[in-house]
Structure 1
Amino acid sequence: MSQFRFLTLLNYIRFDDSNSRSQRLETDPLAAISEIFGLFIANCKKAYTPGAYLCVDEMLVPFRGRCKFIIYMPKKPAKYGLKILVVCDAETFYVHNAYIYHGKDSDGLGLPETERKLAIPTQSVLRLCKDFEKTNRNITADNWFSSIELMERLKDRGLTYVGTLKKNKRHIPPEFQASKTRSPESSLHGFTKDFTIVSYVPKKSKAVLLISSMHHTKQLDPLTKKPEIIMDYNKTKGGVDEIDKKCSNYSSSRRTRRWPLAIFFRVLDLSGVNAYALYKTCTAVPNISRAQFLQDLARSLVLPHLKRRVYNNRLPRELRLTISRVLGTDKPPEPEITAPEDTEAARKTCKICPSRLKRRTKYSCIECRKAICLGCSKTVCVECADNK
């Protein structure tokens, strides 16, 4: 399409009914995009079943326009934007479930009233992992989500958890904290009936704390001498960060001051990530790069539109030749013209008016559907009128 048409569509695109938006905003702050986002997540859940290891984390959609629930995250590259909480497959990076943070009480939507009184990180994980109850999958998350409260709730739902711990948690014994007396590459384990805590010293006066409900031994990796908990955490922790990186490398986003459009651009990027994961899982095609896959995907999406435009004689010939080269031909093909079976429908001049006037047909008889023109001012052809 032309650049003007593209910019026009981009300017006027909307994702809901503006007439009822004010009413829906009273109960749904995301009314401008929630329906489209909900349909996208529903399709993600139908198309793929994640593996045994899941990753829960947050991603930041860059945005600096006007929005009530914009977030400041200094550790993210963009720093300002819209926060989306995501659970994905830790191996294929397929996004299974997500929701947009829109302020207070947004993490507990869909949860029972008793669970809405829990800590916000606990509510977030329970909401995202609601579809995986009693499946014995493992959830990996960072220290913002980790807590004994969350691990107990997940254990009741048939799920295990692995994650890092903040050093200021009350249930951490003093022996597990960083100390100058502890030698580098040493580890200290602590066990309860259901959980395991480990403190690993990567270098002097430093300590990394992790907690797990999946591991119950002191097993170490033979090569790195690190605890098994740390090795499994490192393998499964970067799912959402990797998705965020993929969306940044090949992004469809454009500069905008409308936050629903910024979310829509991220939905397109996540669709590309999920489509690539599905393609690699469901086909026996040799390894194809993600860049090549996205190019092939974009071409397949615009191919029907190109085939329609190449037959349009009103377009400049140079443009039609360019489209033909994209389609793989040297010159624009001529459309196939097939003669209609009904000879009356193929008539180009009015049957009633004198032939010397050569009046073109414009209307058809309301009874027999024969072509007549405006010049004869007839709504019923002569034959139908004579028969009456």
Structure 2
Amino acid sequence: MHNKPICIQFKNDNTSGEEMLQVAGIHVVMGVLGYAQSKLYWQQDTQVPVIAKCMTRDRFYELRNYMHFVDNTSEHNEKLWKVKPFLDCVQKKCLTLPRSHHLSVDEQMVPFSGKCGFVTYVPSKPNPLGLKCFILAAPDGLVLDFMFYNGSGTVSAEDIKEYGLGAAVVKMMTESVPRDNQHCVYTDRFFTNVKSVDMLLGRKIYQTVKDNKSVVILSSWVGSSPPTTYKRRSREHKKKIDVPQPVEMKLYNENMGGVDLCDRFLSYYRCYIRTSKWPVRMFNHFIDLVIVNSCRSDLVSEKTGGANGVGMIGTSAPVSTRKTSHDEMSVMYKRPFGQMDEWTECNV
């Protein structure tokens, strides 16, 4: 007896922009509810009406499995060619967002453990295995620019030879930063050397870096004065007391965590439905990132009375140097939907 392969024929292979928006919306709802398997959203006993009425299960699987952003038969020279049009669209909108005076450059991981030529392992990240992305962010988690690490072709060979990989990344990430002596970029040790500080000073951009191993601060933005203090628990006095703190350390602690804050917001509603296709994972990740950036822009707009600016989805987002607290942002991203019935009348 021979086993014959099973071939599933779908009635319609064509799609539209509206249908792909529905796929994106379904992924967002899946991230909120967090079922272990995608088929549970269509099963009778666990069905979510907003998903089941929007699209059938087989149609969702078909569109997800055959999702492409380019023609696979075309010639290509980049490792990210399969998602380049989509990434370029998101990046173009990020570049229109206002730059705050304090910026940070750090790594972000797109979780993925499937087959891909540039999967990276970074043990210090919450999701250590995946696709590594370098991010330029504001202190409140607003992503302003990004680029992916894809091996030897990430940055030019001349820049690597002169500055090293980390500093060469900073050089590329700061291309969109105004050169007016009003901006400071915060990095860790990986992205910094003396040459990079001199290079940014030539662009009228300042830099502050902290080495966590030996607690060393290098800054072209401020010095050690004026002195500041920091509240710290004292075992001897059994209460918090003021201890001296260099001003550059205070500014670094306040402004370096933008990328980590973005990671935190992404983790709240990330869609963890498994996929073996890295373009699908990238699609899901950047849909979530656009939502985080849009919510951040709307929050600032509310607090400043709707000043003029550019948001991720065409809404107003003012230029503001005020840093939004973690507690204020957490209220926006707190899971509000505890019952599936509340999703019945929603539109994806």
* TM above 0.5: yes
Q: How does 1:63-102 map to 2 (within 5 A)?
A: 63-90=112-139, 92-102=140-150
Match of 2:99 in 1: 50
Letter in 2 for 1:146: T
Match of 1:208 in 2: 215
Q: Per the alignment, in what secondary structure is the counterpart of residue 190 of structure 2?
A: coil
Q: Per the alignment, in what secondary structure is the counterpart of residue 345 of structure 2?
A: helix
The counterpart of 1:152, out of the listed 177, 182, 198, is 198
TM-score (norm: length of structure 1): 0.60
Q: Which has the higher contact order (CA 8 A, sep 6+)?
A: 2
Q: Is contact 1:146-1:164 (8 Å) kept?
A: no
Q: Is contact 1:162-1:213 (8 Å) kept?
A: yes
Q: Is contact 1:151-1:213 (8 Å) kept?
A: yes
Task: State the alpha-carbon separation in 1 of the partners of residues 343 and 278 from structure 2.
Answer: 38
Q: Does 1:103 align with 2:154?
A: no
In the TM superposition, residue 243 of structure 1 has moved relative to its aligned partner by 0.7
Match of 2:280 in 1: 261
Q: Note the residue ranges of structure 1 that are not aligned, 5 or more in a row.
A: 168-206, 296-321, 329-388
Q: Per the alignment, in what secondary structure is the counterpart of residue 102 of structure 1?
A: coil
Match of 2:246 in 1: 227
- In our comparison, the structure showing a higher alpha carbon Rg is 1
In the TM superposition, residue 250 of structure 1 has moved relative to its aligned partner by 1.4
Task: State the alpha-carbon separation in 2 of the partners of residues 9 and 115 from structure 1.
Answer: 41
Q: Does 1:251 align with 2:270?
A: yes
Q: Is contact 1:32-1:260 (8 Å) kept?
A: yes
The alpha-carbon distance between structure 1 residues 327 and 49, as it changes in their structure 2 partners (threshold 3 A), is closer
Q: Does 1:28 align with 2:74?
A: no
Q: Is contact 1:61-1:83 (8 Å) kept?
A: yes
The alpha-carbon distance between structure 1 residues 31 and 324, as it changes in their structure 2 partners (threshold 3 A), is closer
Q: Per the alignment, in what secondary structure is the counterpart of residue 225 of structure 1?
A: strand
Structure 1 residue runs of 4 or more that deviate by more than 4 Å after TM superposition: 284-288, 292-295, 322-325
Q: How does 1:1-388 map to 2 (within 5 A)?
A: 1-4=54-57, 5-20=59-74, 23-24=75-76, 27-46=77-96, 48-90=97-139, 92-108=140-156, 114-118=158-162, 119-136=164-181, 137-165=183-211, 207-222=214-229, 223-283=242-302, 289-291=331-333, 326=345
Q: Is contact 1:151-1:160 (8 Å) kept?
A: yes
In the TM superposition, residue 327 of structure 1 has moved relative to its aligned partner by 6.1
In the TM superposition, residue 79 of structure 1 has moved relative to its aligned partner by 2.3
Letter in 1 for 2:211: L
In the TM superposition, residue 267 of structure 1 has moved relative to its aligned partner by 0.5
- Alignment deviations for residues 184-228 of structure 1 (CA, whole Å, 9 cap, x no partner): xxxxxxxxxxxxxxxxxxxxxxx5111100113443213431111
In the TM superposition, residue 292 of structure 1 has moved relative to its aligned partner by 6.8
Task: State the alpha-carbon separation in 1 of the partners of residues 189 and 118 from structure 2.
Answer: 23
The alpha-carbon distance between structure 1 residues 77 and 327, as it changes in their structure 2 partners (threshold 3 A), is closer
Identity %: 24
Match of 1:371 in 2: none
Q: Cα RMSD over matched residues?
A: 2.7
Q: Is contact 2:141-2:260 (8 Å) kept?
A: no
In the TM superposition, residue 325 of structure 1 has moved relative to its aligned partner by 6.1
Task: State the alpha-carbon separation in 2 of the partners of residues 165 and 141 from structure 1.
Answer: 9
Q: Per the alignment, in what secondary structure is the counterpart of residue 36 of structure 1?
A: helix
TM-score (norm: length of structure 2): 0.67
The alpha-carbon distance between structure 1 residues 63 and 131, as it changes in their structure 2 partners (threshold 3 A), is same
Letter in 1 for 2:55: S
Q: Is contact 2:268-2:333 (8 Å) kept?
A: no
Q: Is contact 1:252-1:268 (8 Å) kept?
A: no
Task: State the alpha-carbon separation in 1 of the partners of residues 343 and 122 from structure 2.
Answer: 48
Q: How many residues align?
A: 253
Q: Is contact 1:276-1:293 (8 Å) kept?
A: no
Q: Per the alignment, in what secondary structure is the counterpart of residue 262 of structure 1?
A: helix
Q: Is contact 1:45-1:97 (8 Å) kept?
A: yes
Match of 2:45 in 1: none
In the TM superposition, residue 49 of structure 1 has moved relative to its aligned partner by 0.2
